Amino acid sequence: MQTPERGSTFTASLGSRRSFSDDVSHLPTVSDPDVQKAFKELMALNWDEIPNSVQDDVKKALSKNTEDKTGKEVLENVFRAAIAVEEFSGMLIQLRMGIDDTLGLSGENSRPLPGELKDALRVVYQRYTAYLDSLSPSETYLRKKVETELGTRMIHLKMRCGGLNSEWGKVTVIGTSGLSGSYIEQRA
């Protein structure tokens, strides 16, 4: 009698083998160890405030003479996105503080938002969606990271203000998107 292949009981119970994440985008291949280390550091960080040590590691990896041109390009794109998200997060925090100053922290001064705050919310939403739309299909991992980083702040704004356009309903925090290309998926 042959030894059953590992997982064959599960396969037999389903009737066929099925891959549940065929359409999930994985992290890009980076072959240079220094570039890969800097890339992984950036992807693992919260982009609200990027530590100087990580920025130094990224700049060192980008200035390195390596044959992994694709890896350097990926790292450069992720680094630019991280810096952009860091700056945009600062703007979202300032906007949230402006709303809190106007309405009160618990909404005790509830009233319609002044025109300047409404305009700021509209511009923030437009820039957020324009940035996400600018990412190519091959940068799905980056799009998901940006959605995760900025989505929470955008939802805080959405929750804080009533009467926003229906387009704000599209702003979500992709809770499971972090699994794409993550350690968990790599182990599966």
Tokens of 107: 């909404």
How much is the CA Rg of the chain, to the nearest whole Å? 21
Q: Is the pLDDT of residue 186 over 50?
A: no
Please tell me the predicted confidence (pLDDT) of residue 29.
86
For residues 31 and 53, what is the distance between their CA atoms, to the nearest angstrom? 22
Q: Is the pLDDT of residue 103 over 70?
A: yes
Please tell me whether the overall predicted TM-score, pTM, comes out greater than 0.85 for this model. no
Q: What band does 106 get if pLDDT is binned at 50, 70 and 90?
A: low
**pLDDT tens readout for residues 107-155:** 676 777 788 888 888 888 899 989 989 998 889 999 999 988 888 888 8
If you average pLDDT over residues 95-100, what whole number do you get? 87
* 8 A C-beta contact, residue 34 and residue 64: yes
Q: Is the pLDDT of residue 173 over 70?
A: no
For residues 99 and 113, what is the distance between their CA atoms, to the nearest angstrom? 8
- Rounded to 5°, the CA angle 145-120-158 comes to 55
For residues 29 and 116, what is the distance between their CA atoms, to the nearest angstrom? 45
**pLDDT tens readout for residues 28-57:** 888 899 999 999 999 999 998 999 999 999
Please tell me the predicted confidence (pLDDT) of residue 34.
93
Please tell me the predicted confidence (pLDDT) of residue 28.
87
Domain boundaries of the chain, sorted by first residue: 33-173
If you average pLDDT over residues 93-106, what whole number do you get? 82
Please tell me the predicted confidence (pLDDT) of residue 185.
38
**pLDDT tens readout for residues 60-88:** 999 999 899 999 999 999 999 999 999 99
